[in-house]
Amino acid sequence: MNKSTALVIVLMNLLIAFLGISLVIPVTPTIMNELHISGSVVGYMVAAFALTQLIVSPIAGRWVDRYGRKRLIVIGLIIFAVSEFLFGIGKTVASLFISRMLGGISAAFIMPAVTAFIADITTLNTRAKALGYMSAAISTGFIIGPGIGGFLGEIGTRLPFFFAAGLGLIAAILSITLLREPERNPENEEMPEQDTGLRRIFAPMYFISFMVIFISQFGLSSFESLFSLFVDHKFGFTPKDIAIIISGGGIFGAIFQVVFFGRLTTWLGEIRLIRYCFIFSTVLVFLTTIVNTYLTILIVTVTVFIGFDLMRPAVTTYLSRIAGKEQGFVGGMNSMFTSIGNIIGPIIGGILFDINLNYPFYFATVLLVAGIAITVAWREPAQVRTKGDS
């Protein structure tokens, strides 16, 4: 199997997994009503997913480097299928919590394994484009999933969960039968050795990247988690209006990831691209609190996601380039710091929202300004820069 075919299969599996995750969104409230579950319990279930992913991600990252990329991808997809099936048959709160925790484990396995797989089958020059495709596959899954889920939900409220489980199994079978464990990329093997153990997190060449991931995800999650409530309370937007905005943002983000990300990375480099994305996102998040017509809020919120959608693969590309032999480790850390942001951001954002509708967005703006300050002081390690230029 050539590398292009392997990349297509990996991206297809990622698309299927995130399609499965998102297609259950339209029917989840119905399940909650059937079981008489409160909003706070739903919030705890979301936190359980992120917390489990947070705990497992560092371990999964080490396993990706030790036991191989394909094995972790397959195991993650099987666990995902089990988690969705369990949610579909779940009749108690305990079973739903177990389902979400299994979902967190599956995400912790799949993401670093896929990132490391792509790092093995691409060169330093082609990796940015491939990781842009990876982000686009995730975005596309989130875009088309709710539409399919809504259609299936009309047939039966549990059907989307069983369909998602089936998709997970199909993706696992595709990986088992078609994927081969990639040979470790010689370009990565030649990269300089880093500190050992968890001290690597605090190595300067890693730590700033991890802080960028945390800050961007913290700000994005506090924005995203309350966006629907914000436009509902402030502008009286209908579910259809909200769906148009979120779908539009996802489509624009996917287009920019596929068409422009590789070119922008080549032109600006990852660090400068991340800096400009922070600036772009900061301005638009703040503008969200100022605009007051449907057209302006539509334009601002559809385009605000572009900055975040370009920033995430840029950080992933940078980390992959400096990680050397430890592609699984940086993938696991990427997932871990993303999870931390996903846990804390919505909690603080929700507290601030109860005080004032605009406060979560002011808070996100301040966080993103801090991100800009970090990227201004960010410098690529000399030995990595030399390696990348050779």
Please tell me the predicted confidence (pLDDT) of residue 72: 92
Q: What are the angstrom distances between the C-alpha of 323 and each of 40, 269, 315, 327?
A: 39, 17, 12, 6
Domain boundaries, the chain: 3-189, 199-389
- Residue 59 tokens read as 């371990």
Whose structure tokens read 């983000």?
A: 253
Which of 303, 291, 281, 283 is CA-nearest to residue 234?
Answer: 291
Please tell me the predicted confidence (pLDDT) of residue 342: 74
- Residue 107 tokens read as 């995400």
Helix (H) or strand (E) holding 172: helix 159-178
Please tell me the predicted confidence (pLDDT) of residue 351: 81
* CATH architecture of residue range(s) 3-189: Up-down Bundle (1.20)
Residues of the chain under the 70 pLDDT cut = 1, 24-26, 28-29, 38-40, 42-43, 185-201, 204, 225, 228, 239-240, 243, 324, 380-390
The model carries a pTM of: 0.71
CA 145/CA 1 separation, integer angstroms: 30
Do domains 3-189 and 199-389 share one topology? The answer is: yes
* CATH architecture of residue range(s) 199-389: Up-down Bundle (1.20)
Please tell me the predicted confidence (pLDDT) of residue 139: 74
Instruction: Note the pLDDT tens digit of each residue in 251-263.
Output: 887 788 888 888 8
The radius of gyration of the chain from alpha carbons, rounded to an integer in Å, stands at: 20
